[in-house]
């Protein structure tokens, strides 16, 4: 027996959290109408199988979408590995499995799945999927539409992107995301990850060149479902960079980071300009804990258009979240409002990496931050929806 949890699909519904002024799950209402303002949705809207989404950052729920699972033979650009399912070079068996949950597989096309050496209780071989398959990504976006998730920040990991095959595989998944967003009415934007252990300050130049490639060759910002946000009356494509200012990230040259931020916001070629979201440490404001402590980082953080702190694991219980919300998140949101910066807190459903780290010493506990049947995440969503300084 291997320690997995099976995702069970419940009845179709679009959960909504509302207060007197806003709805964060989706925006099917008319924001200019006094008859149907953006508050509690009508019963017809709440029961709609597909929620409509306005293309902007405010009043939307955006998920992080890695799209990093693969299997040998999944595409023309074959990485020949069970990426993120099992360790590279290992057998696809239960003893080697990295993930905590066995995914719900019943709605995928059989042709898009690959058998492993794991077996289900009824003796069938367990199958897994790859994000290189367009139908797999489309199905994920269909589920998002069904359950009222507005769209995604699609993660573009910079580690290994200089290798042509890696870059082409990642770009093929991005194309799948583009098509799926168009088919389902979801939103998407690119989110670079500069936190890889092999990366250093040189990754900043590589990121600039990759963004040019996505804009010029993939026409990424011309896509109708690419997230845009208005700043000073101008509609700009949204770009997120995760890994800015973390103690554990090797990208630390603030002068080079400032140059990249300035270029992304003020590039001579207007087509490269963006509304820039920084994926920052949770303690960015006071330069403690997970943030680098040099004063120059304050200028970096405050030069961003939006701040999206990494909150995963910063609380382990609902009561812990309430304390953290009061002591850290609320002051962060007030500070950002004062600076004219959009503040985007993180929700997470729980946490466990027992299977990934079970051979570590000491090994982590299983289900280290329990989901509590959804109550853990719901508490966060409810609190964010009620906060006057938080709009996304």
pLDDT tens track for 151-201: 999 999 999 999 999 999 999 999 999 999 999 999 999 999 999 999 999
Tokens of 315: 């609380």
Q: How far apart are CA 378 and CA 214, in angstroms?
A: 36
Tokens of 316: 């382990």
Pick the most confident of 15-24, 37-46, 151-160, 352-361: 151-160
Q: Strand runs (DSSP E) across the chain, as ranges?
A: 5-6, 62-65, 101-102, 113-119, 125-129, 151-157, 187-193, 228-231, 234-242, 275-280, 306-309, 342-343
- Are 188 and 221 within 8 A, CB to CB? no
Predicted TM-score (pTM) of this structure? 0.87
Q: How far apart are CA 329 and CA 252, in angstroms?
A: 25
Q: How far apart are CA 367 and CA 361, in angstroms?
A: 17
What are the beta bridge partners of residue 2? none
Quick one: pLDDT at residue 36? 31
The three-class DSSP label of residue 344 is: coil
Residue 58 has φ and ψ, to the nearest 5°, of -70, 150
Task: Tell me: pLDDT of 92 over 70.
Answer: yes
Task: Tell me: pLDDT of 223 over 90.
Answer: yes
């Amino acid at each position: 027996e291997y320690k997995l949890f099976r995702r069970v699909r419940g009845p179709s519904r679009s959960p909504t959290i509302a207060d007197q002024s806003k709805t964060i799950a989706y925006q099917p209402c008319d924001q200019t109408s006094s008859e149907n303002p953006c508050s509690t949705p009508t019963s017809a809207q709440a029961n709609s199988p597909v929620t409509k989404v306005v293309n902007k950052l405010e009043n939307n729920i955006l998920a992080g979408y890695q799209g990093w699972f693969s299997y040998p033979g999944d595409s023309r650009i074959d990485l020949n590995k069970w990426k993120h399912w099992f360790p590279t070079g290992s057998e696809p068996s239960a003893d080697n499995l990295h993930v905590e949950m066995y995914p719900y597989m019943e709605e995928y096309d059989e042709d898009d799945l690959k058998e492993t050496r794991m077996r289900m209780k009824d003796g069938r071989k367990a199958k897994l999927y790859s994000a290189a398959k367009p139908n797999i990504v489309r199905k994920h976006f269909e589920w998002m539409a069904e359950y009222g998730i507005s769209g995604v920040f699609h993660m573009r990991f910079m580690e290994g992107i200089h290798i042509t095959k890696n870059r082409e595989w990642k770009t093929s998944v991005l194309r799948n995301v583009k098509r799926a967003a168009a088919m389902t009415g979801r939103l998407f934007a690119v989110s670079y990850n500069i936190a890889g252990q092999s990366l250093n300050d040189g990754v900043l130049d590589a990121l600039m060149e990759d963004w040019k490639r996505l804009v010029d060759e993939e026409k990424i910002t011309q896509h109708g479902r690419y997230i845009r946000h208005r700043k000073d009356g101008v509609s700009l494509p949204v770009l997120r960079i995760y890994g800015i200012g973390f103690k554990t990230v090797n990208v630390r040259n603030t002068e080079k980071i400032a140059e990249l931020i300035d270029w992304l916001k003020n590039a001579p070629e207007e087509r490269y300009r963006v509304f820039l979201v920084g994926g920052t440490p949770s303690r960015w404001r006071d330069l403690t804990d997970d943030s680098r402590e040099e004063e120059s980082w304050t200028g970096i953080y405050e030069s961003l258009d939006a701040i999206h702190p990494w909150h995963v694991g910063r609380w382990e219980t609902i009561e812990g979240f309430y304390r953290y919300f009061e002591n850290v998140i609320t002051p962060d949101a007030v500070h950002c409002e004062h600076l004219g910066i959009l503040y985007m807190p993180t929700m997470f459903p729980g946490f466990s990496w027992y299977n990934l780290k079970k051979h570590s010493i000491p090994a982590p506990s299983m289900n280290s931050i329990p989901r509590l049947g959804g109550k853990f995440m719901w508490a966060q969503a409810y609190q964010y929806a009620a906060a006057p300084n938080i709009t996304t």
